[in-house]
Structure 1
């Protein structure tokens, strides 16, 4: 059935909401309240072409999963929608440059910060705000990186290091570096291939990918993008307010071939990410009846704050896959996690995106070393993320007891500016070289030779809490 633009525009309210996506017109009225990103993000496209908004976040196959067949009302000619209003327009910062010649060649990017600078210039404004923003004053975000700067290396000389071995094992899976892809939502903001490009790059570089619960692509599609079924793919889980949706997600993850579940617990509510929220307010400027909230809050509005340690029993009833708790922020909870028999924990404050002034994950690792050293090299692996940008950061974390480190934003930034998979692989190559060269400086041939005495953490240790009760 052919739908005219005039007919589409009539259905522009909560009572009757139609949207056009790739020429197909859908009635999404009944879907508004169940949309994981909240109803407002759909309502601002009510009666309009929502293709750009949809494609920036989702893959096309999501429509068949989320909407019943009766939601399809007909089709509309693209020419009728050519000047439709889309509130989420990319920034034109890059093209406004009179010397604009496209993004710089990958060969000219020589560290991870270079990728961030390119991303800031070439990402759409809403994507940059979502990726880069931290909570409140962004103190935790900044301190995550500063913590590594407060730890010095203590190199050993005359060790005759011919080669170095950067391999390790994450939950029983061999990897080429002690680095994994942290779960980072909506990778399609950075590149159309999103998590599919990340999966391909991870396979070719020998890394583990932890797929975000709020990924742009389904776990089935990402699993298909791997080089082989043996390529490790882990699944992040946010417990949904509708527990049945989480049950369905875990079952799908298991069926798709995920080898572990990483349950994220550090964001029972979403942090106040002001950069993200300010940008959304500018989009909503002419809609005084709407409260502006950023991509993060709309995307995470379905997360349940009503969970406790018993959620682990619920999860084990669904699967016998290894379980990792992501979001440990103090030694006391690290010990409780160990007592509950999880296979791993991630020391993380959500990249400084949840509670601002929460201590850095590296400081939490020092807490564990001081108050619960039995957790180091135990049956429970310890992972850490937040603020890691250099090979030296990776080695400091490993020397202090971490199994591997996670990077989130850098992988997203490396996708941007059209780089895609090639950008990710270039970024990994840079990090690999930094790790290898600094292992040589330290005088070690393998990661297992890294020891606490190879770093001086005295300046950071001054920030340790005086005592804890375990």
Structure 2
């Protein structure tokens, strides 16, 4: 049967909660307690249309896979569906939406995009504020986020000359699979926040360029949809966020294996979600911009924010105990081995000691990563961990493949003067928060520094999200073209005709740093 808007409106609380998504009605009452994003975001849309909140961050079939057939109640009446469409068309656009529309009109042509910093500048102007805040957020005061980038300034080259480099080959193999460059797309969630085609456009761009993509558990398209968008010869990896539900986690792994994904990257540094204040703050900034600010009232006892992760981080809620905080060397890796034949890589190793334990555990690889500065404040920059590992335990590189993943800092620079947390909540704040997002300029040889120190490849997350947001699939292709040019240029200037010529002797760590680089002037 078909339902009316008034039918749905009669179920608008936790004891009976119905929502509309793409003109289909669902009873999510029992699902409230199981929603990974917590019940509060669903209750915000109880009894009405939730499409605008659901669609940018979920795979198309996510809700159907989470509910029983009896909870999928059926379609909305055609007349009411038309009314919703008319209401949306007549709805006054917010100031943030108007900013985005203007930014899209003013994007420079791709032939004027010369660097990754140029791409980022465009992305800042066209990304919704909540999406930009989520993509760019760092833990606490963003010290780790900043130091991820600053670490690269402490490493300089000993370039070699008089070496034939007219033929320069930057290709490599990652877990035995071909890659045209020594890098891969690191797992990043909710790409649809930046572009309606989200991860699919990243897949298409990477397929054409011969780059491997790691697909996040919380991607905004399903693993099946992403696999279908890939070329027959294209390699995909799966990034697993293990939950306390072993059956559910096992199904994720086995589905990925059946779909042709070639490795499992187990995330080990996100057993709880870091304190990402910029992400939490973004909805309040938008409310203030629209004149909806809330102010303190005497006697107010609501001392905790109702949505700890902000509107853009709906996929995980810290209060739900969804993620497995009891993973261990003794239990977790044997469990994962028992359910898959795929190679296992641990994503989020942050010290030499754990790199050694990973080698002893027999995994095929590790990613040195602090989750792009989003988790533990004052965790060591991955490049420094790589340097320590090379200096203290070079034998580890013979036992497994070592990767490095800054998620933003490998090619994007932090704006050290940014202080978005203290700006006033007004229209100017939105522009300030966007322009001061913590990524800034970039350093072209950073990938080469990591490879020289022993990394097999470098994972990049945020750069692909920015490229996607700025220009869609064409932006992903442009990003990879820039990376190819810059990596090959750096290799030639170092005297390296192939990646095997990049050795630790070419890199020296200094105890001083140069003056910060100029930001893009695009």
Q: Same fold (TM over 0.5)?
A: yes
Alignment counterpart, residue 320 of structure 1, candidates 341, 362, 366: 341
Alignment counterpart, residue 488 of structure 2, candidates 412, 429, 436: 436
Shift of 1:307: 1.2
Contact in 2 for aligned 1:392/1:435 (Cα 8 Å):
yes
Are 2:360 and 1:339 equivalent residues in the alignment? yes
Distance 2:314 2:192 in 1: 16
Shift of 1:4: 2.5
Structure 1's 140 and 89: CA in aligned 2 closer, same or farther, altered over 3 A?
Answer: farther
Shift of 1:8: 2.0
Are 2:81 and 1:29 equivalent residues in the alignment? no
For 1:44-443, list aligned pairs within 5 A: 44-73=44-73, 74-76=75-77, 77-81=80-84, 82-83=86-87, 91-92=96-97, 94=99, 101-228=105-232, 230-281=233-284, 291-293=306-308, 294-295=310-311, 298-301=314-317, 302-309=322-329, 310-376=331-397, 378-386=398-406, 387-389=409-411, 390-417=443-470, 419-443=471-495
Distance 1:22 1:408 in 2: 30
Are 2:508 and 1:456 equivalent residues in the alignment? yes
Listed one character per residue, the Cα deviations across residues 240-271 of structure 1 (whole Å, up to 9, x for unaligned) are 12221101111111111111100000111101
Distance 1:260 1:178 in 2: 17
The equivalent residue for 2:440 is none
Runs (4+) off by over 6 Å: 284-290
TM-score, with normalisation over the residues of structure 1?
0.92
Q: Larger deviation: 72-81 or 345-354?
A: 72-81
Contact in 2 for aligned 1:154/1:456 (Cα 8 Å):
yes
Distance 1:128 1:444 in 2: 37
Shift of 1:299: 1.8
Contact in 2 for aligned 1:57/1:188 (Cα 8 Å):
yes
Shift of 1:460: 7.6
Shift of 1:70: 1.7
Listed one character per residue, the Cα deviations across residues 310-345 of structure 1 (whole Å, up to 9, x for unaligned) are 200000000121000000000000000000011000
Distance 1:90 1:384 in 2: 39
Listed one character per residue, the Cα deviations across residues 73-118 of structure 1 (whole Å, up to 9, x for unaligned) are 33142333344799x9782363586x97342222222111222222
Structure 1's 67 and 103: CA in aligned 2 closer, same or farther, altered over 3 A?
Answer: farther
Distance 1:193 1:18 in 2: 28
CA-based RMSD: 2.4
Distance 1:317 1:222 in 2: 26
Shift of 1:17: 1.1
Distance 1:114 1:392 in 2: 17
SS in 1 for 2:16: coil
The equivalent residue for 1:468 is none
Distance 1:96 1:332 in 2: 49
Shift of 1:20: 1.1
Shift of 1:286: 7.0
Contact in 2 for aligned 1:181/1:209 (Cα 8 Å):
yes
Distance 1:49 1:107 in 2: 41
SS in 2 for 1:234: strand
Listed one character per residue, the Cα deviations across residues 97-140 of structure 1 (whole Å, up to 9, x for unaligned) are 6x973422222221112222222211111111111100000011
Unmatched segments (≥5 aa) in structure 1: 462-470
Structure 1's 330 and 90: CA in aligned 2 closer, same or farther, altered over 3 A?
Answer: farther
Unmatched segments (≥5 aa) in structure 2: 412-442, 514-522
Distance 1:262 1:204 in 2: 23
Q: Larger deviation: 342-351 or 88-97?
A: 88-97
Are 2:5 and 1:5 equivalent residues in the alignment? yes
Shift of 1:308: 1.0
SS in 2 for 1:210: strand
Aligned length: 457
Distance 1:415 1:431 in 2: 15
Listed one character per residue, the Cα deviations across residues 200-252 of structure 1 (whole Å, up to 9, x for unaligned) are 11111111111001111111111111111x31111011111222110111111
